[in-house]
Amino acid sequence: MNVLLIRPPNPLQHVKILTHTKPMNLAYLASYLRKHSFKVCIVDYETRQYSDDDLFQILNDKKPSIIGVSCMTPTIRNGAKICYVVKKYSNDIVTVVGGPHANSLPVQVLKEFSAFDYLIYGEGEVTLLELCNYVQNRSALEQIKGLVYRNGNEIMQNPKRELINDLDEIPFPARDLFAYGKQVGHVSRGFSNKLLATTFYTSRGCPYSCGFCAIQNTFGRTVRFRKISKIEEEIRMLVKDYNFNHIVIADDTFCLKKDRTMELCDVLKRNGIKSWSCDTRANTITKEVLVMMKKSGCKKVAFGVESGSKRILGLNNKQVTVEQIKSAVNWANEVGIKHVEGDFIIGSDPSETINDLEMTRKLILSLPWTLISVSVIVPFPGTHVYEIMREKRMIHDDADWEDFVMFGSSPKWHTEHFSSEDLIELQKKITKEFYLRPNYMIQRLMRVGSAAEIGYWLSSAMAFLKWYSRGRLN
């Protein structure tokens, strides 16, 4: 039986200053289905131009029995559109939706979009396999945990599935199903997608519960770690079979365990990885670990900071202090990490005031970041912020799921002290104040190491100026 997995087009997929990566969640699903003898194809409509005719051609060629779409909140409508087209082609093809939006609103999504036959919530590999077996053999549907489905006019939700205890039961992601070299922007801020790069996971989950983050809808607050031996085996394959130039470690929080992080650095160093990057938290890092990361090829570490206000950090449940942030950033700069990034959110708690934002602004300008990202809060379904803003009617009545993006459109919501227009203006003001400092621009030019880097930074600068002057990313 053939299975077709699709990533729908993203409204901002052609924007050069945003991060664009391969859909590794689909690659893991594909490898797990392959392990159990299903034939799988991935179609990524973030890198391939979507049209109904193109989809019909794929359906003719692949003849899938099941089509799965993985949707973020702003792509759920495009996912539904694809499945409506599939149903026009053949109503016999089973359509299933998964991804962050489905995890957050499992019953509502099936009520809202009739094109989806089934919805998978929670961790997807085993549930999708059992659904494929059901379609093939017509086994008991009500016994498939993590599944939402239709029973006449009723929406039925089966119990949640337990998480996979041993992540190494899942084969390495099916990277061979991707086309490389076709994405704009960067694989990680500071690293152009013209590099041959890949995303890599050493764990799943996060033990923290930040109010603006929806990851708990999928993994709860658990963290599961892969075996070091399997990580090394995969890294050797990435070097030998793919010759990747850069690896983005995409764990939700890298560096949770000091000894493990040091061991992973050894693995990266002895297997020829020349360049890698990661996201982490200021309260989980030490200078000793950063030294080891630098020696093993770490070229970037990004810290999720969100705010420079102690009050807002507390309301976000960040469990990190401003002092820890300052120490971590200074250490990373002192040991020579090429890029030190800070990620901030305006309105991360709806009660944020101009005084709170002033503390954030001062924190940004006082530390040796090489890169920052200042986004406007997006109240994603399933988050604490979403519940607060919905209860207080801060989300406007005309808000559509496609509006739930961090950049590129005027937000269809407001906070206690800032209108939609205020949020955008504050975002632009803080971003401009950081990036358009003469000293910063001189330092960036002095640290450029190649003609390719010059091209990347010039392209990014032009895209930034276009956004700043026009208020649009496209």
- Final residue belonging to a domain, choices 137, 157, 177: 157
Q: Give me 459's structure tokens.
A: 């392209």
Give the dihedral of Cα atoms 141, 147, 148, 152; nearest 10 deg: -10
Residues 100-112 as b/e (b if ≥16 CB within 10 A, e otherwise) read bbbbbbbeebbee
Would you say residue 223 has pLDDT above 60? yes
Distance, in Å, from the CA atom of 459 to the CA atom of 185, rounded to the nearest integer, reads 9
CATH number at residue 457: 3.80.30.20
Distance, in Å, from the CA atom of 446 to the CA atom of 23, rounded to the nearest integer, reads 34
* Any domain includes 168: no
Which residue in this structure is represented by tokens 């490389």? 180
Whether residue 247 is found in the same domain as residue 210: yes
pLDDT band at 196 (very low <50, low <70, confident <90, very high): confident
| CA distances to 123, 206, 365, 430, 448 from 162, in Å | 8, 16, 45, 43, 47
Whether residue 210 is found in the same domain as residue 118: no
Whether residue 251 is found in the same domain as residue 400: yes
* Any domain includes 458: yes
* Any domain includes 177: no
Which residue in this structure is represented by tokens 């061979």? 176
Whether residue 456 is found in the same domain as residue 335: yes
The per-residue pLDDT for 149 is 97
The per-residue pLDDT for 352 is 98
* Any domain includes 164: no
Q: What is the phi/psi pair of residue 115, to 5°? A: -70, -20
Would you say residue 472 has pLDDT above 60? no
Least confident of 72-86, 140-154, 182-196, 273-287: 182-196
Which residue in this structure is represented by tokens 């010759």? 243
Whether residue 401 is found in the same domain as residue 252: yes
Whether residue 103 is found in the same domain as residue 33: yes
Mean pLDDT, rounded, for 394-401: 96
What does DSSP say about strands 339-346 and 371-376: parallel, antiparallel, or unpaired? parallel
Whether residue 215 is found in the same domain as residue 328: yes
Whether residue 152 is found in the same domain as residue 191: no
The per-residue pLDDT for 459 is 75
Whether residue 264 is found in the same domain as residue 412: yes
Residues above pLDDT 70, as percent of the chain: 98
Distance, in Å, from the CA atom of 448 to the CA atom of 355, rounded to the nearest integer, reads 36
* Any domain includes 176: no
Please state the pTM of the whole predicted model.
0.94
Strands lying side by side in the sheet with 276-280: 197-200, 246-254, 276-280, 298-306, 339-346, 371-376
The per-residue pLDDT for 470 is 66
- pLDDT tens readout for residues 107-164: 999 999 999 999 999 999 999 999 999 999 887 899 999 999 999 999 999 999 999 9
* Any domain includes 174: no
38 Cβ neighbours under 8 A, 6+ residues apart = 1, 2, 3, 129, 132
The per-residue pLDDT for 440 is 86
SS3 201: coil
Whether residue 230 is found in the same domain as residue 103: no
* Any domain includes 162: no
CATH number at residue 12: 3.40.50.280
* Any domain includes 192: yes
For residues 27 and 65, the answer to whether their CB atoms sit within 8 Å is no
Q: What is the mean pLDDT of the chain?
A: 93
Number of domains observed in the structure of the chain: 2
Whether residue 115 is found in the same domain as residue 220: no
SS3 235: helix
Mean pLDDT, rounded, for 320-329: 98
Vertex 175: Cα angle to 173 and 178 (nearest 5) = 135
Distance, in Å, from the CA atom of 396 to the CA atom of 417, rounded to the nearest integer, reads 15
The per-residue pLDDT for 473 is 56
- Final residue belonging to a domain, choices 157, 175, 200: 157
315 Cβ neighbours under 8 A, 6+ residues apart = 211, 349, 351
Host domain of residue 115: 2-157
Answer with the residue of higher pLDDT: 270 or 454.
270
Whether residue 113 is found in the same domain as residue 200: no
Would you say residue 474 has pLDDT above 70? no
- pLDDT tens readout for residues 376-386: 999 999 999 99
List, as one string, the DSSP characters of 435-469: HT-HHHHHHHHHT--SHHHHHHHHHHHHHHHHHHH
